[in-house]
Amino acid sequence: MHIGVDIGGTFTDIVVLEDGALRIHKLSSTPDDPSRGMLAGIADVTGGDMSAVESVAHGSTVATNAILERKGAQAAFLVTAGFRDLLEIGRQERPDLYALHPVIPPPLIPRERAFEVVERLDYTGDVLIPLDVDALDRVIDQLAALKVEAVAVCLLHSFVNPAHEQTVGGRLRAAFGESFPVALSSDVLREFREYERASTTVMEAYVRPVMSRYVQALVNAIPAPLRVMRSDGGVMSAARVSTEAVQTALSGPAAGVIGALHLAKLRHIADIITLDMGGTSTDVALCPGDVQLRRDAQIDGLPLQIPMLDIETVGAGGGSIARLDAGGALRVGPESAGAQPGPVCYGRGGTLPTVTDANVVLGRIDPARFLGGQMRIDANTARHALAELGAQFGRTAEDAALGVIEVANANIERAVRRVSVARGHDPRRFALMAFGGAGGLHACEIAERLGIRRVMIPPSPGVLCALGLLLARIEVTRARSVMEPVVAGQPLVESDATARDAVQACIAELQKERIAPERIQHEVTAEMHYLGQAYELSVPFTADGTALAERFHDAHRAAYGHAFPNRPCQVVTVRARGIGAIDAPEFAWQQPVPRDLDGGVYERAELTPGSRFDGPALVAQLDATTYVPAGWRATVDGYGLLFLER
């Protein structure tokens, strides 16, 4: 038995793979302690007997929430003398250009817990000022008096020469114990750009104790190997979370993209846009043949420089609250009713209308079939809430519900355009893979807005993120900045040596995860720019200077429409990615037998391969509802995918 668990804002989703068969389970999330709902769900699907469980994969938002809610560890920050204000100064950017009183998010570690270390390296890593160990020990005494829970260390130019940081880390562990959380920037992010490196290292120290406690509690309760989702779409062992906690900071929606792309590739569909609409938010991603990675994310305005899937999130989910703003305009989200009290129709004390309530009023959710009939839905209270909203601008409950759906769809449409049109891709040549509990309710109308002609709904759309956890591979990344010029006709000596070392480090880490050598793959990329540019493009690495320069010129031309073949370029960072294959679920193909049906309300389980019908229609199932508007045709394929086409 293999179990995937995805904890959302409203529901905790569980997928079980047992003897080649998949089954699903959903239960309400427990926001006060996410692990409580997870363990209760695992107990439900195992009957309390976990002896048959071989592995559990988990997608977590604990690190993200700790940063957003400022509930991380009481950490300290050690920097080179003269750089104590690094976190406050940042890049001196104005987040809102026209704000008269811009609000800058405070750093996770306040200035009073930032301490200077007497030392200095130059940009080549040579020592200008030796590390003053006596002064360091006095700082450590101050940290002991403050009873800090973790320490982040980011010394100038340590990405070139980590010797001083390693000495600092050693003395900290000698003083506080080997298990004390010490985050060295040369371990967390051995790359240039001082502020981004410092910010990422601080996040690691800030969330590491929180994630370690959370994961350890799960390990103690689950007698099977536990793997945790990373932000880049891979998974890692629970043991690695204690040293790479920040890698989970944006892992929440990653599993859904992995699951969606896997199902699309079963049908040899290369280009998809994923639309994951849950209870709190909607996540969209563009996959032109494969997942897209980025490294310039922010959490609450704080830079986080780690590899992550390129996902755009908007506060438009089933629980998003609808209201009129001060100017009388209808707004939907980003505030959400969450799991408690939830939408008005849940009957748990919610009084503010949500997107789910609007769908109930419009008849797009069948109260008798919601959550497979296991959860009571009160359509009358939903109608009353929408009627009150409509009365504020002289409309009926149905008019208000339509308005709520229109505004939510417009918000999601803009997010899709940001990952497609804004990056040079025409969404009309992509298929839309919609999932999440609410994805199928909105997919066709959003596709209409974007000119997309084909929508795909997975067999179990509401739990695709949990399924994606069972499909995700074990991944390790190692990177280092080299700042090596590329000269035509000459090999890249330092970059090539760095690449080999990084690959070996990835392989060694995967072998610790008990991945057999024959199941390990790796890839190496070079992040490059023209001399004088501030940002990089990633290209497949080769030590041949002429070939690497050509790859970069081609990538620059594809990204920006032009290139400068005669301008010198530079390898900034070499990045290796190790991938360990795991036994993924297999999906059996059943030969479709054409069967025409009349429009109406269908149970998903009753739709056999080859079933087809025209909208308007609803498809109800335990984990989601799909709305097929008029003008669309639905067809079930041999994998159980529901294809909707105009």
Average pLDDT rounded to a whole number, residues 262-277: 94
DSSP secondary structure letters along 189-215:
--SS-HHHHHHHHHHHHHHHHHHHHHH
Both 36 and 55 in a single domain? Answer: yes
> What total number of domains does the chain contain?
4
Omega of the bond leading into 616 within 30 degrees of 0 (cis): yes
Is 291 domain-assigned? no
Distances (CA, A) of 414 to 284, 392, 419, 427, 449: 10, 27, 9, 12, 10
Residue entry with tokens 């530079």 = 570
| CA count, 13 A, side-chain hemisphere, 580 | 21
The 3-class secondary structure across 462-476, one letter per residue, is HHHHHHHHHHCCEEE
Statement to judge: residues 137 and 170 lie in one domain: yes
- pLDDT tier at 513, thresholds 50, 70, 90: confident
Residues 496 and 530 in one domain: yes
Q: What global pTM score does this model have?
A: 0.89
- 19-47, pLDDT tens digit by residue? 777 888 888 888 788 888 899 999 999 98
- Parallel, antiparallel, or unpaired for β 611-614 and 595-596? parallel
CATH classification at residue 490: 3.30.1490
DSSP secondary structure code for residue 544 in this structure: B
Q: Per-residue pLDDT tens for 126-170? A: 999 999 999 999 999 999 999 999 999 999 999 999 999 999 999
Q: Is residue 588 part of a domain?
A: no
309-337 tens-digit pLDDT: 999 988 888 989 999 988 899 999 888 88
Domain end among 187, 207, 227:
207
- Range of the structural domain that residue 113 is part of: 72-207
**Are 123 and 87 in a shared domain?**
yes
- Asked if residue 533 and residue 483 are part of one domain, the reply reads yes
**Residue 289: inside a domain:** no
Q: Please give the average per-residue pLDDT across 457-470, as a whole number.
A: 91
555-604 residue pLDDT tens? 999 888 899 999 999 999 999 999 998 877 788 899 999 999 987 899 99
In a domain, 552, yes or no: yes
Selection from 128-142, 253-267, 466-480 with the highest mean pLDDT: 128-142
Mean pLDDT value across residues 298-315: 89
**Same domain, yes or no: 77 and 200:** yes
Residue 99 lies in a domain: yes
CA-based angle 111:116:117, to the nearest 5?
155
User: What phi, psi does 239 have (nearest 5°)?
Assistant: -65, -35
- Are 199 and 108 contained in the same domain? yes
How high is the pLDDT of residue 9?
67
Distance in angstroms (rounded) separating the CA atoms of residues 500 and 484:
16
Tens of pLDDT along 366-385? 888 887 777 888 999 999 99
Q: Which amino acid type is present at position 471?
A: L
> Are 553 and 497 within one domain?
yes
